[in-house]
Amino acid sequence: MSDDGLSRGLADYLGHLVAERGLAANTVAAYRRDLERYLVYLAGLGLSRPDQVEAGQPAGFVSQLRAAGLAPASIARMVAAVRGLHRFWAAEGLTGLDPAADLVPPAVGRRLPKALSLEQVDAIIDAAGAGAATAGPVELRDGALVELLYGSGARISEAVGLDVDEVRRLLDDPSLGLRLRGKGGKQRLAPVGSFARQALDAYLVRGRPVLAAGGRQVPPALFLNTRGARLSRQSAFNRVQALARRAGLTVEVSPHTLRHSYATHLIDGGADLRVVQELLGHASVATTQLYTLVTVDHLREVYRASHPRAV
């Protein structure tokens, strides 16, 4: 992309997202991808500066996305990015009126979180093989990772971002909770149960030292790969999927599935919605309320399967 006024305007906006709004690097990268596509569209119209964009042109971009067959959720995400960009340009005086102010995203059906049963979670944990007498460093690491994701509700980025010192602090005094750094750098404390703590302790004692021996400059990271470097988010994602397949699960499973399951099982057990909101690090309780819908659906299924007059 040429270094014209549009490109500079995008760079300024992305800098604003980082410095003023504190968005995570992955979120900013997603904004960049979506908005670079928008700028390519504007350049195709012969535009090179933010103040050249006219009302109706952002809507033309949306029409182009629909014609390309993009899913409504993807289009809605791009619409939000475009509206944010133009709102910023208007506030900074780069444009007069905001040409995207009336841009309306397509309706997106509410996608309910997928939760595993307790038996399915146990099967994934068992598939890691951390409890076997012959468990090696990778098995111990994977077992600790899965136990932590399900036992604390951590996002995968929060889990792989943990350092050893923080976990040792938890193991020394479990009442302190685990400090997780979430979206936008926000920090929260998550209680961690004995199963996850035992798995973490076994990994730190018998697994991580072996993995660390494979690296030259070992980072302070909790979870290491076989080269002694910090385990990446994508590698952790792949490990969880591999364990689910090994466990014989036919449903789609990701690290976020374990987070969904954590929340749903808490609510099934009677946890207050506001407490679950704090545990998950949700900014709004409206996000957490999705899990109550999962529980209602589960109750309805049980009713239909169990009550003699349900059908």
**188 part of the active site:** no
**282 part of the active site:** yes
Helices (H), 129-232: 137-152, 156-160, 164-172, 194-202, 208-212
- Neighbour-count burial of 133, counting CB atoms closer than 10 A to its CB (0-12 exposed, 13-18 middle, 19+ buried): exposed
**291 part of the active site:** yes
Q: Which residues, 6+ apart, have CB-to-CB distance to 297 below 8 Å?
A: 112
**260 part of the active site:** no
Structure tokens at 73: 């959720």
CB atoms within 10 A of CB 273: 14
Which among 114, 169, 181, 183 is annotated as catalytic? 183
Which among 77, 246, 256, 298 is annotated as catalytic? 256
CB 261 within 8 A of CB 116: yes
Which among 155, 230, 239, 265 is annotated as catalytic? 155
CB 103 within 8 A of CB 58: yes
Which among 259, 260, 262, 265 is annotated as catalytic? 259
How far apart are the C-alpha atoms of 99 and 57, rounded to whole Å?
A: 8
**Residue 241: C-alpha distances to residues 23, 146, 213, 280 (Å):** 27, 11, 26, 22
Nearest to 239 by CA among 120, 151, 129: 129
**259 part of the active site:** yes
Q: Could you list the active site residues?
A: 155, 183, 256, 259, 282, 291
